[in-house]
């Protein structure tokens, strides 16, 4: 029996019911504004469209309603024209993009594309709520199982150091720690993803018969997102959990750091020496213990103030760094020593989570990031002691899991503002980043938020955060593991990632020749080459100094190879900044696994050793010692040019590529347009008045050159320009569009030096030049070759 009720406008009321008779009993189904609700197997189940492509499924034990507030999801449901139908005895709800069928007897939820092709099954009887006592609060162990195709590849899950890309047939305790950063999420090769919206210590397990999440909580709450392809999925995910803002141009330059610079003079001298050597540098980072009492008991750990002997004039220190056209990131931790004023205030307001955090024997404890008032208190001290005082340019948020030492099981029972620590642990970094980013953004419009953080969670991308892979060891094995770990992490919609160039712990090399050990030098160079094609290029580590001159003088192979990578990074800044705009505006991705652009090529489904950097450059890092020829797989669906030689190869084959120690294998996709900037010592030293543009023939292609004021939020008000460059292969013409937009300080005119890289550019070994130079004044130009 179907009952319809209409309001005066002729639309359906938000709620009505129809009865389905099954096996002699009547099952009520409630139709909601954009979905339906029903009860099955002692559960109340809600299925609701959030967009044409995204559906939220929400389950609670019957008679135990729970109002869930998400830490990750910021979207509200958009208006979707939902159609209702039946499939046998099962209700079906449809948008223009996907269909969802529910089994009112078993609680199963089945997802299809618009044509009816099955995508995923939330299994019949696959959800269980098992009562559990969570630190004195009645809660549940919640498990939800899904059925996947036998050979269906999946990705995401987290940054996992196991050297695997496809995450099928794996299981993980999802507990964010140093070097292990999880979000309960997977992305399918079929063009959909599932985000299990839960922050507790959880289990992920994929077996041939099912994939499951198991967590602590009061509800089963997940989002099914269909994008048809990987870019589409990430666009849905960012629409749900927040877009990634633009970082300033300087954030794509070279960062120098180590554990640690002891005085303000030491770090300042490092910047001066880079300038004297004319090796490009944009950022210096100050690591821990710049605060007082560092050599006593660490009872003043993270006081967010400066030791007067070692940092006698921190404002002058930062001003001098700025006068050298460099920027400063400064570390701050979530834990506080017992003698700090922050700790005393947090203690007095019950805003400390009372377990031991780093460093050992200090008495340091982390603050309760889940309390909004605690986030504001944290910023109050950070702003007064550092940001508004010295004018630093960004933050290094260390230990954002956070570190947990002298672990006791009872520590996870400790209360937070949102429940037991166990129930929210994996959201710690998300909330810590939120507090600092949101408060800085509210207090200063002229500096974009830049955060380097050691952990992450889905949604963190909206805070200008760049996750690094943690305190990894300095080894070839660990370098290999960085690549697939990074690719899976970025497939979770978080575009900014990096690692310590050279690996953090280098003790194995310290007593074996140190920086002059040939194998360590080669490892460092290969890691730097990888860093040049990461969203942040940052040298850091302990045991051995990492500044370039410690490896030799200019003219030595190790110095020169490093300088070559750093200079290439700076030459590519117009390409990188345009990619940053693509990430921010179009929900793009910096480090693009090959499945993103070549999913039709099944060989790419298992390749986690190569990736596209932006949409045009294929990167194949060398991760083994003394390799001088490296096999590189070139995907089907494109032609490919060796970046260094311009030699052309067809896709769908593995090529043996020359990889001398100063060369990282790079290939450029046919049809690509890549702008190259001037030689500079820092990112904004020269305006882009003369840009070299390489066009790689063989297919149509385009690139958007993006420019703005480099470091403020005026771009959000329209203060930026875009110039679209399009290559038409048939007519062999580069069309440069009218410039759109404007901003203070923009160039009125510039020169484009366009070089066409042709299919036979290097067949005989001779580098043929096909160059046109034009003056551009903001009006459309066509250049025919």
Residues 667 and 646: their CA atoms lie apart, in Å, by 9
Give the up-direction half-sphere exposure of residue 542: CA atoms within 13 A in the CB hemisphere: 11
Q: What is the SS3 assignment for 93? A: strand
For 431-465, the three-class secondary structure string (H helix, E strand, C coil) is HHHHHHHHHHHHHCCCCCCCEEECCCCCCHHHHCE
Strands (DSSP E) found in 476-572? 497-498, 537-539
Closest of 529, 519, 551, 524 to residue 625, by C-alpha: 519
Known catalytic residues are 398, 401, 471
Residue with tokens 């700790």: 343
Which residues partner with 25 through β-bridges?
22
Please check whether residue 182 is in contact with residue 426, taking contact to mean a CB–CB distance below 8 angstroms. Answer: yes
* Four-CA torsion 726, 729, 732, 737, nearest 10 degrees: -10
Which residues partner with 181 through β-bridges?
159
Closest of 540, 544, 560, 564 to residue 552, by C-alpha: 560
Residues 157 and 154: their CA atoms lie apart, in Å, by 9
What is the Cα gyration radius of the chain? 27
Closest of 32, 30, 127, 17 to residue 77, by C-alpha: 32
Residues 52 and 81: their CA atoms lie apart, in Å, by 8
φ, ψ (nearest 5 deg) of residue 597: -115, -15
Going from the C-alpha of 353 to that of each of 117, 297, 460, 528, 561, the distances in angstroms are: 48, 21, 22, 38, 47
Please check whether residue 326 is in contact with residue 283, taking contact to mean a CB–CB distance below 8 angstroms. Answer: yes
Instruction: Work out the angle at residue 437's Cα, subtended by the Cα atoms of residues 432 and 439, and round it to the nearest 5 degrees.
Output: 100
Closest of 415, 407, 418 to residue 135, by C-alpha: 415
Which residues partner with 61 through β-bridges?
43
Closest of 252, 283, 278, 254 to residue 267, by C-alpha: 283
Residues 625 and 551: their CA atoms lie apart, in Å, by 17
Q: Strand 254-256 vs strand 283-286: parallel, antiparallel, or unpaired?
A: parallel
Residues 214 and 679: their CA atoms lie apart, in Å, by 52
φ, ψ (nearest 5 deg) of residue 473: -80, 155
Residues 283 and 448: their CA atoms lie apart, in Å, by 15
How many C-beta neighbours within 10 Å does residue 713 have?
18
């Amino acid at each position: 029996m179907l009952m319809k009720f209409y309001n005066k406008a002729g639309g359906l009321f938000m709620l009505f019911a129809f009865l389905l008779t099954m096996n002699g009993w009547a099952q009520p189904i409630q139709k909601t504004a954009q979905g339906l609700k029903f009860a099955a197997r002692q559960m109340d189940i809600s299925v609701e469209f959030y967009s044409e492509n995204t559906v939220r499924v929400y389950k609670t034990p019957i008679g135990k309603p729970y109002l869930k507030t998400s830490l990750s999801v910021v979207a509200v449901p958009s208006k979707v024209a939902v159609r209702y139908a039946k499939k046998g005895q099962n209700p079906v709800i449809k948008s223009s993009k996907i269909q969802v069928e529910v089994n009112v007897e078993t609680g199963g939820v089945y997802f299809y594309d618009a044509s009816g092709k099955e995508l995923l099954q939330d299994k019949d009887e696959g959800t269980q709520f098992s009562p559990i006592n969570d630190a004195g609060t009645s809660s549940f162990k919640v498990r939800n199982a899904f059925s996947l195709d036998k050979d269906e590849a999946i990705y995401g899950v987290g940054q996992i150091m196991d050297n695997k890309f496809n995450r099928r047939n794996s299981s993980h305790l999802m507990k964010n720690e140093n070097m292990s950063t999880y979000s309960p999420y997977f992305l399918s090769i079929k063009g959909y993803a599932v985000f299990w919206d839960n922050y507790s210590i959880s289990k992920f397990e994929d077996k041939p018969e099912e994939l499951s999440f198991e967590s602590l909580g009061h509800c089963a709450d997940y989002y099914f997102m269909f994008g048809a392809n990987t870019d589409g999925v990430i666009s849905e995910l960012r629409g749900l959990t927040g877009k990634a803002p633009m970082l300033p141009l300087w954030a794509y330059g070279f960062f120098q750091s180590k554990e640690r610079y002891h005085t303000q003079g030491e770090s300042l001298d490092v910047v001066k020496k880079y300038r004297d050597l004319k090796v490009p540098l944009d950022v210096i980072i100050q690591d821990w213990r710049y605060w007082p009492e560092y050599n006593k008991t660490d009872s003043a750990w993270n006081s967010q103030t400066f030791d007067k002997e070692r940092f006698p004039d921190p404002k002058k220190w930062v001003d001098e760094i700025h006068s050298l056209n460099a920027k400063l990131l400064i570390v701050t931790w979530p834990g506080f020593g017992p003698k700090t004023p922050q700790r005393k205030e947090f203690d007095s307001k019950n805003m400390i989570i009372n377990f031991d955090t780093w460093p050992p024997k200090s008495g340091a404890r982390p603050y309760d990031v889940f309390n909004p008032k605690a986030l504001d208190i944290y910023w109050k001290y950070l702003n007064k002691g550092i940001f508004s005082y010295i004018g630093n340019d960004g933050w290094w948020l260390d230990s954002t899991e956070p570190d947990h030492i002298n672990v006791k099981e009872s520590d996870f029972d400790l209360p937070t503002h949102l429940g037991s620590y166990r129930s929210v642990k994996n959201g710690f970094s998300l909330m810590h980043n939120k507090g600092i980013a949101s408060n800085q953004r509210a207090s200063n419009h002229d500096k974009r938020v830049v955060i380097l953080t050691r952990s992450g969670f889905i949604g963190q991308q909206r805070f200008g955060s760049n996750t690094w892979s943690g305190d990894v060891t300095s080894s070839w094995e660990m370098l290999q593991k960085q690549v697939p770990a990074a690719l899976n992490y970025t497939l979770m919609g978080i575009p900014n990632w990096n690692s310590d160039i050279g690996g953090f712990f280098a003790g194995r090399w310290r007593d074996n020749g140190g920086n002059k050990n040939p194998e360590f030098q080669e490892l460092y160079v290969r890691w730097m080459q990888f860093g040049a094609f990461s969203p942040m290029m940052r040298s850091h580590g302990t045991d051995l100094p990492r500044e370039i001159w410690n490896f030799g003088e200019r003219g030595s192979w190790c110095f020169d190879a490093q300088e070559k990578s750093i200079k290439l990074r700076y030459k590519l800044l117009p390409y990188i900044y345009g990619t940053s705009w693509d990430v921010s505006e179009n929900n793009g991705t910096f480090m693009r696994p090959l499945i993103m652009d070549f999913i039709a090529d099944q060989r790419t489904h298992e390749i986690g050793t190569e990736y596209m950097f932006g949409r045009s450059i294929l990167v194949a890092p060398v991760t083994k010692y003394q390799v001088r020829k490296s096999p590189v797989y070139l995907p089907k669906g494109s032609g490919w040019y060796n970046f260094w030689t311009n030699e052309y190869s067809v896709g769908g084959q593995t090529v043996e590529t020359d990889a001398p120690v100063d060369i990282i294998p790079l290939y450029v996709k046919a049809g690509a347009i890549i702008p190259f900037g001037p030689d500079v010592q820092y990112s904004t030293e020269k305006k882009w008045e003369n840009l070299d543009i390489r066009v790689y023939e063989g297919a149509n292609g385009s690139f958007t050159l993006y420019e703005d004021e480099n470091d403020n939020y005026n771009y959000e008000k329209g203060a930026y320009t875009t110039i679209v460059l399009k290559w038409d292969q048939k007519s062999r013409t580069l069309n440069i569009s009218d410039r759109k937009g404007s901003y203070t300080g923009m160039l009125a005119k510039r020169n484009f030096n366009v070089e066409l890289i042709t299919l036979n550019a290097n067949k005989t070994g001779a580098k043929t030049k096909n160059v046109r130079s034009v003056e551009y004044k903001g009006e459309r130009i066509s250049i025919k070759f």
